[in-house]
Amino acid sequence: MTTAPTGDAERRPHPAPRHLSDVRDATHVTRQAAVERLRAARLYLCTDAREERGDLEDFLHAALAGGVDVVQLRDKGLDVARELELQEVVARVATEHGALWAVNDRADVALLTGAPVVHMGQGDLPVPAVRSLLGAGPLLGRSTHSLAQATAAEADPEVDYFCVGPLWATPTKPGRDAVGLDLLRQVAETRPTTPWFAIGGIDADRLDQVLDAGAERIVVVRAITGATDPERAARGLRERLPA
């Protein structure tokens, strides 16, 4: 006779798919190693999943070979199942190149994949909530759009890096007003001890303005994702950034 499952059995959580455990084991980075890599990082890439081209893995190898230090998959069009599949690719390729990889917005995805970096915007989960879910292990990044937000990120011991922008209007963030280079100068003048990145519309033509305003680290999207030769584009940017 078959017995019906008990309520406790029905509520028992299902184990994570085996491949996620494999990802965590194969791509694990200690917090101290991640901190050191982040402090040395200068070029941070955000990319979509490149589903139409179907070349995400080849693209990542090229961009990372060109000098990208941190890579983040940011694609709002993905469902969670597909994002988990692609985060496995990002994790594996980044690890092969000794680079960091970041999960955007999704603390649950970061937890399942063991991502060494998780990035949150001002409208996402607050810092204490992220730490409550993920613990002290992953590095936590924060978007900032004003001097007050940047100052708050700098003062928060739970924030490991922050981004300042968008400097120019960008289709990546529709409806978000550009903050301009003046904010970049203001943040640079405070001499943050937390690593920080300029973000938003930065490309090879605008890079000198960004550096002159005081930034030493940048986040780019189309400057590499839209390049016919991503490795060359990444190398061209990385070589102009401080050592």
How confident is the model over 44-71, as a mean pLDDT? 97
| Predicted pLDDT of residue 173 | 67
Rounded to whole angstroms, the Cα distance separating 69 from 73 reads 14
> Which residues, other chains included, contact 42 with Cβ-Cβ below 8 Å and sequence gap of 6+?
69, 216, 217, 218, 238, 241, 242
Torsion of CA 216, 219, 222, 228, to 10 degrees: 60
Give per-residue pLDDT as tens, 91-127. Answer: 999 999 999 999 999 999 999 999 999 999 999 999 9
DSSP state of 201: S
The answer, yes or no, to whether residue 79 has pLDDT greater than 70, is yes
The answer, yes or no, to whether residue 20 has pLDDT greater than 70, is no
SS3 category, 26: helix
| Predicted pLDDT of residue 18 | 47
Binding-site residues sit at 72-76, 104-105, 124, 143, 170-173, 201
Q: What pTM, to 2 d.p., does this model score?
A: 0.89
The answer, yes or no, to whether residue 73 has pLDDT greater than 70, is yes
Say which range, 23-37, 101-115, 121-135, 196-210, has the weakest mean pLDDT: 23-37
Rounded to whole angstroms, the Cα distance separating 217 from 60 reads 20
The answer, yes or no, to whether residue 9 has pLDDT greater than 70, is no
To the nearest whole percent, how much of the chain has pLDDT over 90?
84
CB 217 within 8 A of CB 241: yes
How confident is the model over 26-41, as a mean pLDDT? 91
Q: What is the largest CA-CA distance in the chain?
A: 77
Mean pLDDT of all residues in the chain? 90
Rounded to whole angstroms, the Cα distance separating 239 from 236 reads 6
SS3 category, 164: strand
Say which range, 99-113, 170-184, 185-199, 204-218, has the weakest mean pLDDT: 170-184
Res. 6 pLDDT band, cuts 50 70 90: very low
Rounded to whole angstroms, the Cα distance separating 110 from 32 reads 18
**CB atoms < 10 A from the CB of 190, how many?**
13
Which amino acid does the sequence have at 224? I
| C-alpha distance across the termini of the chain, in Å | 71
Rounded to whole angstroms, the Cα distance separating 158 from 168 reads 28
**CB atoms < 10 A from the CB of 48, how many?**
17
Binding-site residues for Mg(2+) sit at 105, 124
